[in-house]
Amino acid sequence: MRISLAWGRVIFALSGYALAAPSTKFKLKESIAVPRGWIRRDTAPRGLTIDLRIALPQANFPLLEQHLYEVSDPFHERYGNHLTQEEVNELIAPPAESVDAVRSWLADHGLTDSAISRSPAGDWVKVRLPVSLAEEMLDAEYHVWEHASGDTLIRTTAYSLPEHLHGHVELVQPTTLFSRFRPQRAMFHFDQEGQSSTAADNAPAINVPSASGGTVDASCNTTVTVTCLKELYNAVGFTPSSNGKNQVACTGYLNEFANLADLQSFYEDQVPAAVNTSFKLVSISGGQNNQSEPGGEANLDTQFLFGITFPTPATFFTTAGSPPFIPDILTPTDTNEPYLDWLDFILNTPNPPQTISTSYADDEQTVPKSFAQGACAGFAQLGAKGVSLTFSSGDGGVGDGDPDPATQECFTNDGLNKTQFVPLFPPSCPFVTAVGGTIHVPERAVDFSGGGFSNYFPRPSYQDIAVPRFLKKLAPGTYAGLFNPAGRGIPDVAAQADNFRIFFDGRPALIGGTSAAAPTFAGFVSLLNDARIQAGKSPLGFLNPLIYGINLIQTGAFNDITTGNNPGCGTPGFNATIGWDAVTGFGTPNFGILKEIVLGL
């Protein structure tokens, strides 16, 4: 497919960028090998507009991280004393000399303060400018790149900065970020029989000692509903408050729209009390919620997350921007960076929802390490303010969900094409809770459950006991060289991840993936937050120190999953086992026990 470059023939008046930059000595800031699956096409249209984002150093981030762990550690005296946005901003504010150096650099290129936007803390700067000026400022060459899937991006494989700026700029994007940030969905098919989820099943109830009442309806073995999840995870009878003190949200990207009529059908089918209620829609960067184009991912996220948590006030964040991007006269601005826009927005929101679920991710290796670290620092800021973040761990087992069709192996993106397991980002960030998947009742690991170890982030301290125990169970030499045993382990927890009954375009359908597990787990986190907030306590915030701390004292707060594995990259993957494992983490939640624990903190 040839990309249209009609825009490149349009004369672009650079009236606002007339000043010439002074003579500058450049030094390479970042370069990458051409990522696998991408082909370079034409030179990027010089008049194409991009939003250049510049990250400045956060001088006191280690102190912010210290605060985060103290307020998130259930055994620390500061537990639950989250920081205000002002306190967070003060900790991440860049040094004054970095602010001045970047401002002068931009001014040298005719970009004054009126053309620049900054984050409240000043650690991110954004400026809209044509590709021609970005190339001049970064000593770079942008091209149109096309992925085998048809997605297109405007990127460069290397960029430089004036030598004196290297200590004042952490990263600049969009440059080397080739991430496709896709929804994590393993399967989607219509329920041809169209049976109501409330239809009686002749089979006897399944004995599950940890479940509400000790049993789960037999129909839950093939069709998962809100009722099934509340039975299985011991939450029957708990009704959260609707007073607005507790809030829950999920994110939507890539033209995934949540259909309101389908939501009502879902509520009629599974949550009758919620009929005629809806969610708050928050548009970011012009995000839409087109009712003529229902999205399977968006419907799944909103229906189950908001069904589990009803009547908790709910929000659907819809962020504009979607590949493929074809630069031409009608689309003069590259808008396929939706994830950065959402992160900008939520970091600037004084009182965000206390629980936010995201079911989108990409291979860690397609994300420049500098970008992953910067985004991960943003998640730390949210955790310090009391926000719990869940991300689906992936649908490719230990692989990337998109293995080479000829060899069924996974390759590195460093130009060496080595076989290697492929963790996902953002789940690999140690400041979020990664959710793997289970299937059936009694539960076992679902075979697509993403799991493994980060190649970017070292093992966080909260994993220092659980993860080495798992690694010691592996036979000597198991998968040597295929994963990083010193990396952050994925996932942290799990939840049901297949055969979820949703409504799509007016019809019942079954859908699966860890994109079902993440909103499910987030739903029960939100219920825990409600219990704490109604008791006059703070929300849970960053969950992982609590999760790992709970399991060090063996409370039964999680249902340990000990069967199943997550094949990928031509291997059987890891096995679920007693304790934490790289398939299901610590397992699935027991809400009743968790509620008593968190109310006692």
Three-class SS state of 442:
coil
User: How wide is the angle at C-alpha 380 spanned by C-alphas 453 and 120, nearest 5°?
Assistant: 145
User: Does 439 belong to an annotated binding site?
Assistant: no
Three-class SS state of 408:
coil
Q: How many Å apart are CA 522 and CA 391, to the nearest integer? A: 9
Helices marked H in 124-254 — which ranges?
A: 131-138, 226-232
Sign of CA dihedral 488, 492, 497, 502: negative
**Which one is catalytic: 98, 210, 515, 526?**
515
Active site residue 146: no
User: Does 581 belong to an annotated binding site?
Assistant: yes
User: Does 201 belong to an annotated binding site?
Assistant: no
What's the token pair of residue 29? 């800031």
Three-class SS state of 172:
strand
**Which one is catalytic: 30, 231, 297, 334?**
297
Three-class SS state of 333:
strand
Looking at this protein, which amino acid is placed at residue 586?
Answer: F
Q: How many Å apart are CA 467 and CA 493, to the nearest integer? A: 13
CA proximity to 88, closest of 461, 406, 351, 368: 351
List, in sequence order, every residue forming a beta bridge with 575; answer none if it has no partner.
565
Q: How many Å apart are CA 47 and CA 45, to the nearest integer? A: 5
User: Does 505 belong to an annotated binding site?
Assistant: no
Q: How many Å apart are CA 568 and CA 45, to the nearest integer? A: 39
How far from 142 is each of 40, 127, 301, CA to CA, in Å?
A: 10, 17, 36
**Which one is catalytic: 65, 170, 256, 301?**
301
* DSSP code, position 441: T
Active site residue 538: no
Active site residue 97: no
Maximum Cα–Cα distance across the chain: 81
Give the residue numbers annotated as catalytic, written as ranges.
297, 301, 515
Binding residues for Ca(2+): 560-561, 579, 581
